[in-house]
Structures are given as C-alpha cells and as structure tokens.
Amino acid sequence: MSVTLKELAAEIGAELIGDGNLAVSSANSLDEAGPEEVSFLSNPKYISQLETTRAAAVICSPVVRHDRIPLLKTKDPYLAFAKAVVKLHGYRKHPHAGVHKLAHVDPAATIGEGTVLYPGVFIGPRAKVGRDCILYPNVVIYDDTVIGDRVTIHACTVIGQDGFGYATSQGVHHKIPQIGNVVIEDDVEIGSGAAIARAALGRTVVGKGTKIDNLVTIGHGTQIGPAGMIVAQVGIAGSVKIGHHVTMAGQVGVAGHLKIGNNVTFGAQSGVMEDVPDQSMYIGAPAMPAQQARRVYSIFTQLPELVQRIKQLEQKVEELSSAEGEEGRGDSVGRGDAETG
C-alpha cells in the first residue's frame, strides 16, 4: 500500500517537517530503507545514520533536527513506527478461516467465533478458547485450560501440561496428580516453544495483555499480573506471584514461592532468589538492586588486581614483622651484654 507522508503523519499522529506529497509504500530500518520506505529513530546512538540513510522519511522525537530528509516528529517514535507498519503492511493474512481440517478439537471443548486454528493444533477436553484467537501449528492445549479473547499462541507451545510436582520418599519421586488448570486472560501473546504448566491445585494465571517470548517456562500455580513482558528463555518456578507491568529480560530465573511487586524490571540472566518490592530494578545472579549490583560488579571486575595488591601487602607485613623480630632480638642481646659487663 502506498500513502503520502501527509496521510501517514495524520495516521500516526506526527508533525511532518518536509514534503508531504512524497509517497511511501513500505517500512524498513535506517541502514536498509530505500527511497520509497519510511524508517524510524528512537535510540539516540543511531542518530548518525540520518546522514547516510536512503529512507524517504524518518519517524523521530521532536528534538531531532535534520535538513536532508523529511521528518515525522512524535513523542513516541517506536509506537508511531508500529502504527506506520500496520498502515503500510497490515497484519498477517491467514490462509484459512476457522478450524483447519488437520487440527483436532475435542467434542467437549469450545472455540469462540473468529478464532483460527492452524494444522496440528490440539484442543483437549473441556478446554475453552475465546473469540478472535490465533493458534499456530502444533500448539497443544490440555484439558480444562481456559483461554480468553484475542490471544495469539505461536507454533509448538504447550499449555496445561502437568506441573513438576513430586513427593520424594526414600529416594523415590512419587508423582503428585496436578488437578488444577491454566487460565490465559485476554490479549495475551505467547511465543514459540513455551510451556505453561497447570497448577497442582487451583490455577496458573497469565494476566491480561501480558506478552511472553519464545522458550519460556512457567511453573505450576504461578500467577503473572497484567501487562507483563517475559522475554526469551525465562524460567519461572511454581507458586510465584508476579505483579502488573513486570519485565523479565532474557534468561531470567525465578525461584519458587516468591512474590514480585508491580512495575519491576529484571536485567538479563538475573537469578531471583528473594521477594522483590514494587518499583524496583534488579540485575545479576543472585539478583540485587541495580544500584548495589553496579557497585558489586565494578569491584568484581577488579578482583585479579585486588588479589595481587593483597598479596603484596601481606608480603610487606611479613617483611616488617621479620624486621621487628630481628630488632627485638638485637636489643635483648645488647641489654644482656651490658648487664654482664
């Protein structure tokens, strides 16, 4: 689809600086965009690319100044660019409507209007899938799982499998029946290869609007609040309670039975081993408040030099101790000679 910059500016709510009659038909990155494509600049580190980009126009923040190419200025360039991509490209068109003939839906399951199931999808007994959902190939939904409206689940994700629950006695692990279920609320998107376990008792819950990346594991009985962002390869153990608007970067690990507050951010590979209060940023393994962690890691990187300095100080202390010992022995000999004389 082709639109003028004037039309695009109105669509995304941006102030246009430049020729509004120029037309664009696609969107691309700054370094790859061509003369009929629009790009965006949200990270100041890439501002030098404005000198070299071939893009027809760039979506940017109001503070950016440049005379070479038209600018579409807005307070949130990334969101505006997302709107531009939707305008120019739209969303993925599905090759079929409704339930594909190679998907399996148990007779006791229910599927909402407008939902698309790709080949290989399995929907188990008594599962409920809401309206306008998209389940890509080989998604597996176990029995009694409840999925809300407008949920997207990408290929090969499994929801509702047994939680990892065993009672160990005399070296033998005895399986505990997992009799709870999973509830996925409205407007959730789940990436490929994720696994969300059913609760042993009660529910495992993923809150409204939460976005989950590929290869994420969520343990039984965990409850994730609304609008979370769970990035690739995160592992969350069972019975964790997570507040709203929590972000977990790649490979974060969360121990079981913890409570994570609202508006919390964890840096990549954080190892979370204790409760975390609201409005916090934690990094590191074990995870600690970001300000403290930065001090810890600044020292950590200097450990070889610090060890060498300690060895040098120990050697000096030993030399001083030896010298004092020899001086003491000398004084003793002198006093003895004086007395005998």
Q: Is the pLDDT of residue 193 over 60?
A: yes
Listed in sequence order, the residues at least 6 apart from 299 whose beta carbon sits closer than 8 Å to its beta carbon are 306
Structure token pair of residue 212: 């989950």
CB 112 within 8 A of CB 133: yes
What does the pLDDT look like over 283-338, one tens digit per residue? Answer: 999 999 999 999 988 888 888 898 999 999 999 998 888 887 777 666 665 555 55
pLDDT at 297: 85
Model pTM score: 0.87
pLDDT at 333: 56
pLDDT at 317: 92
- CA 322-324-328 angle, to 5 degrees, is 115
What are the contacts of 331-340 at 24+ separation with CB within 8 A? none
CB 186 within 8 A of CB 207: no
What whole-number distance in Å separates Cα of residue 268 and Cα of residue 250?
A: 5
Q: Which CATH number fits domain 3-89: 3.40.1380.10, 3.40.190.150, 3.40.1390.10, 1.10.1740.10?
A: 3.40.1390.10
What does the pLDDT look like over 253-283, one tens digit per residue? Answer: 999 999 999 999 999 999 999 999 999 999 9
What are the contacts of 100-104 at 24+ separation with CB within 8 A? 103/135
Q: Is 220 a catalytic residue?
A: yes
What whole-number distance in Å separates Cα of residue 41 and Cα of residue 308?
A: 46
What does the pLDDT look like over 18-61, one tens digit per residue? Answer: 999 999 999 999 999 999 999 999 998 999 999 999 999 999 99
- CA 67-21-45 angle, to 5 degrees, is 35
User: Which backbone phi and psi does 129 adopt, to 5 degrees?
Assistant: -120, 130
Q: What is the CATH number of domain 104-294?
A: 2.160.10.10
CB 288 within 8 A of CB 270: no
Select which of 100, 220, 244, 245 is catalytic.
Answer: 220
What whole-number distance in Å separates Cα of residue 274 and Cα of residue 284?
A: 13
What whole-number distance in Å separates Cα of residue 112 and Cα of residue 142?
A: 17
Count Cβ atoms within 10 A of the Cβ of residue 112 and give its class: 0-12 exposed, 13-18 middle, 19 or more buried.
Answer: middle
pLDDT at 23: 96
Mean pLDDT across the chain: 94
Count Cβ atoms within 10 A of the Cβ of residue 104 and give its class: 0-12 exposed, 13-18 middle, 19 or more buried.
Answer: middle
